[in-house]
Chain A
Amino acid sequence: MDAFINDRKNQILTKGKDDATIACGKASVAGSVSQRACVFCGSRVVLYPIADALHLIHGPVGCAAYTWDIRGALSSGPQIHRLSFTTDLKEKEVVFGGEERLYKALISLIETYKPKGAFVYATCIVGVIGDDVEAVCRRVTRETGIDVIPVMSEGFNGTKKDGYKIACGALAKLIGTDTTYEAPEYSINILGDFNLAGELWMLAEYYKKMGVNLVGAMTGDGRIDDIRKAHKAHLNIVQCSGSMIGLAKEMKEKYGIPFMKVSYFGIEDMSDALYEVAKFFKSDEMMEKARTLVKEELSVLLPALAQYRQKLEGKKAAIYVGGAFKAISLVKALRLIGMKTVVVGSQTGNVDDYNLLKEMCDDGTIIVDDSNPNELSEFVKQTGADLFIGGVKERPIAYKLGLGFCDHNHERKEALAGYEGMLNFAKEVYASVCSPVWQFMK
């Protein structure tokens, strides 16, 4: 077991062997090569897809350079979110303060790009030198007439999860500011879908067919003005609950909007996401439409999946993703194509998530919180996995050891949600697991 850092033992369990509850929600151990990022990263990824907002990163160049256009989040119109703006602080500002530089940067960028709003991300160094980012934002709001929202996301100030909370706080400042809007009946917000490779557009289409109106997809193909209206929706549907559940809870408290947690990955979860909405609105007509939709989609999808299932039956998968809720869906989706999950873990799961995973998985499955390359490679070896599902940082581990890989994080450029997405997923898994190239690596 020398592959594992001692302090981490209670963050790893094997179903059927260990009874203890997994430890999670802890800060990563110093010296680990954690796959997690920081508070800033958490805030940045959540707010990233708001496409008509200016996103200015206040700090030295790195934080902005490394987050330039890395997500697969698509916008149907403006593309300002894909640019990387930073105050690019130098030693001078670190010594004398960077407020003036921030102010000037904001003014010239807003003049030029005419965004509908702006987010200013405070990074580590800003927290240390004590720039009053909030005051600068207030001043620029006053002078330009657009909302300039401070996102106090100093990297050291907690974990990536804390960054999500801060992002939700930033959104909460916008929600409810359009006081004239009235929503049509059966109105929903979609929270925590980031429109990777246009997934939101597929989901919106499903809901439209059921007669459900989308007020705002909070961050997928996001627009400032839609977020302002979001308080008028009748229901919040939360996909990436790790990042957005805080906001959903706040909106429930403040505006009385109920919420439900859903997942759009795999047939079961996707279909449930539709049925649950119809149930919520207590409309038989809507339920009927949902059933018809699911039936139609499945009549195309299931035969198409069969050939992949035949090839993939009995293959083993390892999952290590950001959010545990996604991992749960993936276990089910893999089952649908005949695959068994042998390792499953996440960067930010909570106790409930891990308990559910433990319930779902077969004996012998390794469940892990906040892992690192050493452990992950050890797990896939021990379990003889044929496939790894993860993000960019996990990819080379899989390939180096000669197993297939499927990218399932926010950088992917393939739509994997919904029915169409399920087929894409099966195709991608098949293409990787069954590629002849692995013969040279076993």
Chain B
Amino acid sequence: MFENAPIIKSTKEFTATRNACKLCAPLGASVAFKGIRGCVPIIHGSQGCSTYIRRYLISHFKEPVDIASSNFTEEATIFGGAANCHAAITNVIGQYKPEVVAMTTTCLSETIGDDVKMYIHDFQKDSQLKDLPRFVTASTPSYQGSHMDGFHEAVSSAVKAFAKGGDKGTHINIFPGFVSTEDLRQLKYLLSDFGFQFVMLPDYSETLDNPIWESYKRIPEGGTPVSAIETCGSAAASIEFGTILNYGALSGRVKNSRLSSTGANYLENEFGVKNYRMPLPIGVKNTDRFVKALEEISGKEMPLRYMTERGRLIDSYADGHKYIFGKKAVVYGEEDFVVAMTTFLDEIGIEVILAATGGESGRLADEIKANCPERGEQILAKNMFDYEKIREWCIDNKPDLFVGNSKAYYIARELDVPIVRCGFPIHDRIGGQRIKHLGYAGTQDLFDQVVNAMIQYKQDHSPVGYKYM
């Protein structure tokens, strides 16, 4: 009775994107801004942008996600959004009493040429209100790049808006990228155990994953305080996860290191804060790289607890290797996530046959080759892919496993292939925001899941269902 969509066997090029493997820039910016303490993001555009993005994030984080909209009307579209921008800020201040107002643009406001920075300047100049919040803006037209470009744009905007120079301190900056709230917490534990004072930007570990409330909190607790961001310029070093970041060659923006695309990049150029840029620490190799950087910066050895964690992880690699060796996996999602996840699967003996992303950097293949030197050449890496392209490819090259967010579930179901859910978004399970990916502990969780997915598949498809491995 229910039909599946047709499978296209031809190599036809579709002009349309079919089930996009990416989201738009204001979503990424909103997430990043949610990681600043006391911040209320305002999306400057039509109401739908804010509502859809809230809905999308709520489905993943299972938390209230208050993002205001400047509610464009036809009039604003024709005559400019200054009045709406002004009213939106006034109402947000009145209702939320925020410490920070973060305004992120949309395709609509960008195209009509709204100068949000000027609007805010005028607002600050004319306002009779006492104790105005701090302001930050990000330019995020949705026709430039994906949600990841928006995310990194917001982070760099916040750094550019607030960071100051000064005498070098001993604290470090950490730019974790778009990872789970649990990942952020794990990173904080690790850095604290190392004895670091640090500034993590963004830090939505609490704002998007709060405990139960007695009464509604207009602004959830947590987030990086502006006062902390101000000290970024005097940090001893920055650690930035991701090697592709927002260096999208096709995103339309001119991006080179001189223009300081990322926050860490800016701090390095402007204040001489050394930036350790590396892939997300997923897998032993990538995590070792991260730990090595921490050791170098601190001059201390990794705390014993993490040595043991690492040891246990490698021990489990031995326990589980047989069930996964040579299995074929498809990895998909945002670019830096795909690079790190591919590296991890590669190091445990799983053949990634397709690494796909809706991202547009054009750098995915090179980064995968760089991080998987032995098998990297054989991995088909695809930028600007969508889920229907993944689906059609998989029909002919049936993988044993999907690794990525929940959006490929329909393909996995059709092909009867297990899916290990990780990354963003997780819309069809509880706990997506609590998935651990990073560090030895995160890798441990992922490894167990991958191996168990393979064992379960075998078990489910066995005529008798063995009770031992």
Instruction: Answer whether residue B54 sits at the interface, using C-beta atoms and an 8 A cutoff.
Output: yes
Within B189-239, the residues touching A (CB, 8 Å) are 210, 212-213, 215-216, 218
Q: How far is the CB of A119 from chain B (nearest CB, A)?
A: 14
Stretch of A30-38, A164-172, A279-287 with 4 or more beta carbons under 8 angstroms from chain B: A30-38
Instruction: Answer whether residue B424 sits at the interface, using C-beta atoms and an 8 A cutoff.
Output: no
**Chain A residues within 8 Å of B1, by CB:** 76-77
**Chain A residues within 8 Å of B84, by CB:** 30
Find the A residue at minimum CB distance from B46.
Answer: A155
Other-chain contact of A29, B48, B50, B91, B107 (Cβ < 8 Å) = B91
Other-chain contact of B69, A30, A157, A395 (Cβ < 8 Å) = A30
B4 contacts A33, CB within 8 Å?
no
- Cβ contacts B1-44/A at 8 Å (1 or 0 each): 11111101000111111111011101100000000000000100
**Chain A residues within 8 Å of B106, by CB:** 124
Instruction: Answer whether residue B325 sits at the interface, using C-beta atoms and an 8 A cutoff.
Output: no
B89 contacts A79, CB within 8 Å?
no
**Chain B residues within 8 Å of A68, by CB:** 19-20, 407
- Cβ contacts B72-85/A at 8 Å (1 or 0 each): 11101100000111
- Cβ contacts A50-87/B at 8 Å (1 or 0 each): 00000010011111111111100001111110111111
Stretch of A105-113, A176-184, A312-320 with 4 or more beta carbons under 8 angstroms from chain B: A105-113
A64 contacts B63, CB within 8 Å?
no
B74 contacts A65, CB within 8 Å?
no
A401 contacts B216, CB within 8 Å?
yes
Other-chain contact of B215, A92, A125, A401 (Cβ < 8 Å) = A401
B388 contacts A83, CB within 8 Å?
yes
Instruction: Answer whether residue A246 sits at the interface, using C-beta atoms and an 8 A cutoff.
Output: no
Expressed in whole angstroms, the Cα–Cα distance for A30 and B68 within the complex equals 8
Q: How far is the CB of A372 from chain B (nearest CB, A)?
A: 8
Instruction: Answer whether residue B314 sits at the interface, using C-beta atoms and an 8 A cutoff.
Output: no
B91 contacts A30, CB within 8 Å?
yes
**Chain B residues within 8 Å of A62, by CB:** 23-24, 26-27, 49, 52-53, 107, 142
Expressed in whole angstroms, the Cα–Cα distance for A367 and B122 within the complex equals 38
Expressed in whole angstroms, the Cα–Cα distance for A64 and B252 within the complex equals 21
Expressed in whole angstroms, the Cα–Cα distance for A27 and B22 within the complex equals 30
Stretch of A212-220, A324-332, A373-381 with 4 or more beta carbons under 8 angstroms from chain B: A373-381
Expressed in whole angstroms, the Cα–Cα distance for A128 and B84 within the complex equals 17
B17 contacts A86, CB within 8 Å?
yes
Expressed in whole angstroms, the Cα–Cα distance for A2 and B215 within the complex equals 15
**Chain B residues within 8 Å of A77, by CB:** 1-3
Instruction: Answer whether residue B284 sits at the interface, using C-beta atoms and an 8 A cutoff.
Output: no
Other-chain contact of B112, A84, A128, A381, A399 (Cβ < 8 Å) = A128
Q: With A378-B216, A400-B210, A401-B213 in contact, do A33 and B20 touch (Cβ < 8 Å)?
A: no
Instruction: Answer whether residue A158 sits at the interface, using C-beta atoms and an 8 A cutoff.
Output: yes
**Chain A residues within 8 Å of B83, by CB:** 30
Q: How far is the CB of A112 from chain B (nearest CB, A)?
A: 6
Within A389-421, the residues touching B (CB, 8 Å) are 392-393, 395-397, 399-402
Expressed in whole angstroms, the Cα–Cα distance for A30 and B16 within the complex equals 33
Q: With A30-B71, A377-B216, A397-B216 in contact, do A79 and B142 touch (Cβ < 8 Å)?
A: no
**Chain A residues within 8 Å of B54, by CB:** 33, 393
**Chain B residues within 8 Å of A392, by CB:** 55, 58-59
Q: With A28-B71, A400-B216 in contact, do A38 and B16 touch (Cβ < 8 Å)?
A: no
Instruction: Answer whether residue B70 sits at the interface, using C-beta atoms and an 8 A cutoff.
Output: yes
Expressed in whole angstroms, the Cα–Cα distance for A86 and B64 within the complex equals 29
**Chain A residues within 8 Å of B15, by CB:** 87, 101, 104-105, 108
B51 contacts A393, CB within 8 Å?
yes
B143 contacts A381, CB within 8 Å?
no
Instruction: Answer whether residue A276 sits at the interface, using C-beta atoms and an 8 A cutoff.
Output: no
**Chain B residues within 8 Å of A2, by CB:** 94-95
Instruction: Answer whether residue A356 sits at the interface, using C-beta atoms and an 8 A cutoff.
Output: no
Instruction: Answer whether residue B111 sits at the interface, using C-beta atoms and an 8 A cutoff.
Output: yes
Find the B residue at minimum CB distance from A107.
Answer: B15
Instruction: Answer whether residue B134 sits at the interface, using C-beta atoms and an 8 A cutoff.
Output: no
A84 contacts B19, CB within 8 Å?
yes
B108 contacts A124, CB within 8 Å?
yes
Find the A residue at minimum CB distance from B67.
Answer: A33
Q: How far is the CB of B214 from chain A (nearest CB, A)?
A: 8
**Chain B residues within 8 Å of A61, by CB:** 17, 20, 22-24, 142, 146, 358
A34 contacts B215, CB within 8 Å?
no
B89 contacts A33, CB within 8 Å?
no
Expressed in whole angstroms, the Cα–Cα distance for A407 and B12 within the complex equals 41
Other-chain contact of A30, B59, B62, B87 (Cβ < 8 Å) = B87
**Chain A residues within 8 Å of B67, by CB:** 33
Q: How far is the CB of B126 from chain A (nearest CB, A)?
A: 16
Instruction: Answer whether residue B432 sits at the interface, using C-beta atoms and an 8 A cutoff.
Output: no
A85 contacts B16, CB within 8 Å?
yes
B16 contacts A86, CB within 8 Å?
yes
Instruction: Answer whether residue A384 sits at the interface, using C-beta atoms and an 8 A cutoff.
Output: no
Q: With A85-B18, A373-B64 in contact, do A66 and B56 touch (Cβ < 8 Å)?
A: yes
Expressed in whole angstroms, the Cα–Cα distance for A38 and B50 within the complex equals 10
Q: How far is the CB of A77 from chain B (nearest CB, A)?
A: 6
Q: How far is the CB of B427 from chain A (nearest CB, A)?
A: 9
Find the B residue at minimum CB distance from A70.
Answer: B55
Instruction: Answer whether residue B399 sits at the interface, using C-beta atoms and an 8 A cutoff.
Output: no
Other-chain contact of B95, A101, A374, A395 (Cβ < 8 Å) = A374
Given A79-B5, A125-B111, A155-B49, output 18 extra A-B contacts at Cβ < 8 Å.
Answer: A5-B95, A33-B69, A37-B47, A40-B48, A41-B52, A59-B107, A61-B358, A66-B53, A78-B3, A83-B18, A86-B20, A92-B252, A106-B16, A125-B107, A155-B47, A156-B45, A374-B216, A392-B58
- A–B pairs, 30, beta carbons within 8 Å: A30-B88, A33-B54, A39-B46, A40-B48, A60-B24, A61-B358, A84-B18, A91-B141, A91-B143, A94-B143, A106-B16, A108-B15, A108-B16, A124-B45, A124-B72, A125-B143, A128-B77, A128-B108, A129-B111, A156-B45, A374-B95, A374-B96, A377-B216, A381-B216, A393-B54, A395-B62, A396-B64, A396-B65, A400-B212, A401-B216
B residues apposed to A, CB below 8 Å: 1-6, 8, 12-20, 22-24, 26-27, 42, 45-56, 58-59, 62-74, 76-77, 83-85, 87-92, 94-96, 106-108, 111-112, 141-144, 146, 210, 212-213, 215-216, 218, 250, 252, 358, 388, 407, 410
